[in-house]
Structure 1
């Protein structure tokens, strides 16, 4: 089914996320899904015990299994939230795929032209607007720098009226 869904897409967006599967969160679901029409279609998923949540080896194996399901010639853009760290994104790059990730406020970044001057990512919040804006090339995570382009974007919180 995955091959059929992706056969006409050369650069599909694939959302990857961990989610609790049980009320006590003892079981976690790692899922890859294709966004379509405001919903997602699951392409592949695995269940792991909570102690494996965020485990780099589990995530790398997940990516390799996902790769086996993709049709030839498809280069996905992996979209992941701030729970995924640099080893995950390096594994995505090792597959010659593209990625888009969210940086946590507690992370640090350095501009590519000033690689020794690390700033809290939180300091960029004021530059975010509702229209995505490329801030330039940067390094992410001091202990294991990962290069990428930084884009600032602010989304208004969802307000539910009752």
Structure 2
């Protein structure tokens, strides 16, 4: 009951009358029944988790109807926009992580945008595309335009991406009036401001292990589509870990290993201190943890195991997972602000929280559902928002 009331109040406050009342009620039902996500996000498992006096067969059919609801799918951008304005309209600045992920269904990949936060990022928008459309420049451009529509216009936005996003992506982000931080490949050439010679990125020398440095303002690329910004370098100390189990994809493993060992060459439109900018880029791994929460079969929602085929079905399942993650993150933050997180960890460590907000919320749903109180949420919401904003301004996200 606590879950349903909370979800109803949240969607009423955020969405208001932007979508049909029946579709909103449908979302409330599925979110409230799946909030502890102690189930695999497949149609059959979702159906078995629903609370109803009808037969399991009928509930599975209801889940199938939900994932095939093309009218609700058309409202996804509107829902994301309403939630983004509800949670972030009073912010000054946000850091947005963007990346591709696969494995949710054969032949489809997901492009997601998440806000960097404590430990895990908070997803705010996603799109599902076929495998042939992955890393396509036009798909990236359309995604950014829709993301621009979702994010409140008053915010200062910094986009962070990995090396899979190239020079044309940087230009697209800058045209929207946002800042960008991204890793660049060794194939690029750059020209330092005030010089006539061109240099290759692969010839850059790193200052030392753990030392961030700035090369200054540069022009990246010799073509007409060259983009201006700043280059920073950083080489992290290797952890020394050795994989003991044979990887399913050894070629990928080797590529990522070399990718990590070679050090970072970062391009950004921001003229900041090198260590400050590198600390921002390090938050990029948060979105990988976010993907793990959604796809992992043991610790997450197990979306990897679903056997749905069809873009609408995959899109709706991922959308449901994103909303569950979003609510869980804020609920976990509430639990910590009430100093209740100590009840969910061993007494060995007393000076910090050892569980992620997502896992903390998952446990509290079962043991203290009364904490999911809408009035309490409203009372401390402004303080929680300000806490995040202060971390952003100090560049001290953790």
Normalization by structure 1: what TM-score? 0.87
Number of the residue aligned with 1:155: 236
Shift of 1:71: 1.5
Shift of 1:64: 0.8
1:6 paired with 2:105, answer no
Of Structure 1 and Structure 2, the greater helix share is in 2
2:169 alignment partner, SS class: helix
1:21 alignment partner, SS class: strand
Equivalent residue pairs, number: 160
Deviates more, 1:152-161 or 1:91-100: 152-161
Shift of 1:157: 3.5
Of Structure 1 and Structure 2, the greater strand share is in 1
Number of the residue aligned with 2:121: 40
2:160 alignment partner, SS class: strand
1:50 paired with 2:131, answer yes
Distance 1:128 1:54 in 2: 33
Distance 2:88 2:203 in 1: 39
Number of the residue aligned with 2:145: 64
Shift of 1:31: 0.7
Number of the residue aligned with 2:329: none
Shift of 1:156: 2.6
1:19/1:138 CA distance change after superposition, 3 Å: same
Distance 2:87 2:208 in 1: 34
Rg larger in structure? 2
Number of the residue aligned with 1:121: 201
Q: Which has the higher contact order (CA 8 A, sep 6+)?
A: 2
1:121/1:23 CA distance change after superposition, 3 Å: farther
Distance 2:89 2:159 in 1: 17
Number of the residue aligned with 1:132: 212
Distance 1:72 1:97 in 2: 11
Distance 1:71 1:16 in 2: 17
1:141-152 aligned within 5 A: 141-143=221-223, 144-152=225-233
Structure 2: give runs of 5+ residues left out of the alignment: 1-82, 245-398
1:2/1:131 CA distance change after superposition, 3 Å: farther
1:15 paired with 2:97, answer yes
Instruction: Please give the root-mean-square deviation of Cα atoms over the aligned residues, in Å.
Output: 2.1
1:24-39 aligned within 5 A: 26-39=107-120
1:111 paired with 2:201, answer no
1:81/1:27 CA distance change after superposition, 3 Å: same
Deviates more, 1:52-61 or 1:1-10: 1-10
Shift of 1:19: 1.6
Shift of 1:72: 3.0
1:131/1:38 CA distance change after superposition, 3 Å: farther
Structure 1: give runs of 5+ residues left out of the alignment: none
1:51/1:122 CA distance change after superposition, 3 Å: same
CA contact (8 A) 2:188 2:200 kept: yes
Distance 2:101 2:87 in 1: 23
1:11/1:129 CA distance change after superposition, 3 Å: farther
CA contact (8 A) 2:209 2:237 kept: no
